Amino acid sequence: MNPHTLPKKRELGAYYTPPALSQVLADWAIKNANDNILEPSFGGCGFFDSSITRLKDLGCLSPDRQLFGVDIDQNAFDILHSKFHKLVSIQKRFLKNDFIKIEPCDFSISKFDVVLGNPPYVSMHNMTQEQRKSCEMILRNSPFSSFTLGRNASLWAFFLLHSLVFLKDGGRVAWVLPSSLLHADYAKKLIAIHRKHFKVLKIIKLAERFFREEGAKETSVILIAEGFDSKGKDECLFTVKAADDLLELRDAITMASNSSHMEIDDFKLAYIPEYIRNIYQTVSFRKESKPLSHYLDIKIGMVTGANKLFIINKDTVKQFALPSCVLKPIVGRFSSLTGIRHTKPRQEKIQSEGHRAFLVNPSQLQINENVVREYLTQITEEEKRKNRTFKKRPNWFEPDYGIDSIIPDGFLSYMIHRGPRIVINQGRVNCTNSIHKVLGYS
Ligand SMILES: C[S@@+](CC[C@H](N)C(=O)[O-])C[C@H]1O[C@@H](n2cnc3c(N)ncnc32)[C@H](O)[C@@H]1O
């Protein structure tokens, strides 16, 4: 059972994998009774349990001797100890540290047949300064980072890149990943790295929200790869599929791969049912079909640098007695928008319903008012100093500045698992960076 509260889960990215899912992946990844297995963020030990079951099925007599792992959280070690109390020593086998800082020589064996797990989903913005530095080191030093991920990558992407250093030639990886594997630019580069170094690569989008009970908001995507070659290969069989449930996932994983020429930009289309893909392609090849950018300019919404502080709901306004002169209306989340247009009355409605739809935006003069000053002290001097976004505007406490203050003509949904939707902004309200701004060309 996951011992963490929801905020702690978010901080550590600690959403434990359901046992039925880790079993499907362990069954695929572990091929031999003597395989050595590395789990770089073992958390609730679910992948260890599944690996033991698989190794036993293959005839291994002491499967727990072949398990190795890392986690940064003491709770993971408490679970490890309570499960495997008979383990004599955790030395050089289970390491309490940041995986990004671990090197192969830290373990009693330096290469593994299998690396598998579900790495922490922590965005670059939520990483500590120290963590970012470690990730930059990986980018600079990894022998596999020929397609550089860039600094915006989330922690899970660095986990995948770093894991390759621990893998034997011929080895396998099996990962549970967030849906940003299908959207983010850095993920494309990570996929290119895997295509260069594996014989077979499969990506399977899970339709079910496997982690709903755990409180994770993301849908999950599985990445499995086999036939690792540290020097790089000429060709990789690359397939992308979708699975509605675990049975379909098992089928998709075991099915032979046949496609090798898919372009990275096209791979998202591969998991759409074929008849829909055909319609999409027919429509997009018509001469009158143009990309959205032909008609509209699409920009990211306002970047405040600290949405928790600047984008608030009516309860926070009340709690801190913030005066209306320091507040502006804003749309904090796309899910607050109903219908095809957003008007002033609708903005008032979402505010009164408790949505985070107020922007705190005091002027230089207003921050001298006691209540405002007290509200802003929630952010420490050190946090202010380290915040890169704050440095980009003259007053860190005034996010409604420059291009961020442009009021969009409409809102476009951004990274949600439903289809895209545009809402017309009749109320002339700004929006945060969890929404795309739509601007008409003048
Ligand atoms: C998504 S959970 C998955 C846990 C486990 N792999 C599973 O599938 O159930 C991510 C785990 O990463 C751990 N973690 C977070 N940051 C880490 C880091 N820098 N190094 C190692 N583990 C880390 C968390 O404590 C958590 O146990």
Q: Which residues contact 124 (CB under 8 A, 6 or more apart)?
A: 132, 135, 151, 152, 153, 154, 155
CA atoms of 38 and 299, how far apart (whole Å)? 41
Q: Are residues 212 and 259 in the same domain?
A: yes
Domain holding 399, by residue range, is: 296-440
Q: Are residues 161 and 101 in the same domain?
A: yes
Q: Is 162 among the domain residues?
A: yes
CATH code of 124's domain = 3.40.50.150
Which of 282, 314, 334 represents a domain boundary (last residue)?
A: 282
Q: Are residues 309 and 274 in the same domain?
A: no
Give the predicted TM-score (pTM) of the model: 0.72
Closest ligand 1 atom to 41 CA: 22
In this structure, are residues 411 and 337 in contact, taking their beta carbons and an 8 Å threshold? yes
CA atoms of 390 and 398, how far apart (whole Å)? 9
Using alpha carbons, select from 142, 136, 229, 150 the residue that is nearest to residue 187. Answer: 150
In this structure, are residues 342 and 317 in contact, taking their beta carbons and an 8 Å threshold? no
Q: Is 290 among the domain residues?
A: no
Q: Is 287 among the domain residues?
A: no
Q: Are residues 278 and 300 in the same domain?
A: no
Does the CB atom of residue 154 touch ligand 1 within 6 A? no
Mean pLDDT by 10 residues, the chain (442 residues): 64 78 97 97 95 96 93 92 72 92 94 96 80 84 75 88 96 94 86 93 79 61 96 86 86 76 63 82 90 91 94 97 97 94 97 97 93 94 91 95 95 77 97 94 78
Q: Are residues 268 and 304 in the same domain?
A: no
Q: Is 345 among the domain residues?
A: yes
How far is ligand 1, taken at its centre, from the CA of residue 116, in Å? 12
The residue whose CB lies within 8 Å of the most ligand 1 atoms, and thus the one to mutate among 10, 12, 51, 158, is 12
Q: How far is CA 43 from CA 15, 103, 164, 411, in A?
A: 8, 19, 20, 38
Q: At what angle do helices 155-163 and 185-197 cross, to 10 degrees?
A: 10
Q: Are residues 163 and 235 in the same domain?
A: yes
Q: Is 288 among the domain residues?
A: no
Does the CB atom of residue 50 touch ligand 1 within 6 A? no
Q: Is 70 among the domain residues?
A: yes
Which of 282, 314, 342 represents a domain boundary (last residue)?
A: 282
CA atoms of 58 and 45, how far apart (whole Å)? 20
Which of 251, 282, 313 represents a domain boundary (last residue)?
A: 282
Q: Is 68 among the domain residues?
A: yes
Overall number of domains in the chain: 2
Which amino acid is located at 406 in the chain? I
Burial class (CB in 10 A: 0-12, 13-18, 19+), 42: buried
Q: Are residues 242 and 391 in the same domain?
A: no
One-character DSSP codes across 137-151: HHHHH-TTTTS---T
How far is ligand 1, taken at its centre, from the CA of residue 118, in Å? 7
How far is ligand 1, taken at its centre, from the CA of residue 377, in Å? 32
Q: Are residues 265 and 327 in the same domain?
A: no
Does the CB atom of residue 69 touch ligand 1 within 6 A? no
Q: Is 158 among the domain residues?
A: yes
Q: Are residues 230 and 315 in the same domain?
A: no
Burial class (CB in 10 A: 0-12, 13-18, 19+), 117: buried
Beta strand pairing call for 410-412 and 200-206? unpaired
Q: Are residues 275 and 300 in the same domain?
A: no
How far is ligand 1, taken at its centre, from the CA of residue 13, in Å? 6
Q: Are residues 275 and 306 in the same domain?
A: no
What's the confidence (pLDDT) of residue 4? 65
Does the CB atom of residue 99 touch ligand 1 within 6 A? yes
Which position has the token pair 């579900």?
A: 118
Q: Are residues 159 and 253 in the same domain?
A: yes
